[in-house]
Structure 1
Amino acid sequence: MNTQRKNIKLNAQVEIVKKQHQQSGELTSGTVQKILTKSAIHPHGIKVMLKSGEVGRVKTIIST
């Protein structure tokens, strides 16, 4: 679900993993400001920018 661009909406509440936390798997919660991945599907998750300015790949969609 988090690997398909169509499932990620602007202003959705999500949990992302930032690049520097990929090894530990530490998640960051926030609201989607911008969808950065151009392709319809990405195996590691869709890359987004949160309203806080943090960038990472979506691991969980909390609410749309």
Structure 2
Amino acid sequence: MDATKRADIAIGATVSIVLKQDQRNGALTDGVIEKILTNSPNHHHGIKVRLNSGEVGRVKKIHP
């Protein structure tokens, strides 16, 4: 699974994202995808999503 391809991301999937304020230090936040915000089929920094908690960030890891 590739976090830079929209086709590999699904609503309800458990992922680790990096929040905008954490981009410099690389801290990851875990959660479940509520909505996929990136419209393009891929993005080199990761697909932007909103988690059930309301946090928005780019996917860095997809958990099985």
TM-score when scaled to structure 2? 0.97
**TM-score, normalised by the number of residues in structure 1:** 0.97
Residue identity (%): 56
Over the aligned positions, Cα root-mean-square deviation in angstroms equals: 0.4
Q: Deviation per CA, 1:25-46, whole angstroms, max 9, x where unpaired?
A: 0000000000000000000000
1:22 corresponding residue in structure 2: 23
Q: Distance in 2 between matches of 1:43 and 1:60?
A: 13
Could you list the structure 1 runs, at least 4 aligned residues long, displaced by more than 3 angstroms after superposition: none
Q: What does residue 6 of structure 2 align with? A: 5
2:36: which partner in 1? 35
Match of 1:59, SS state, is strand
Distance 1:62 1:53 in 2: 19
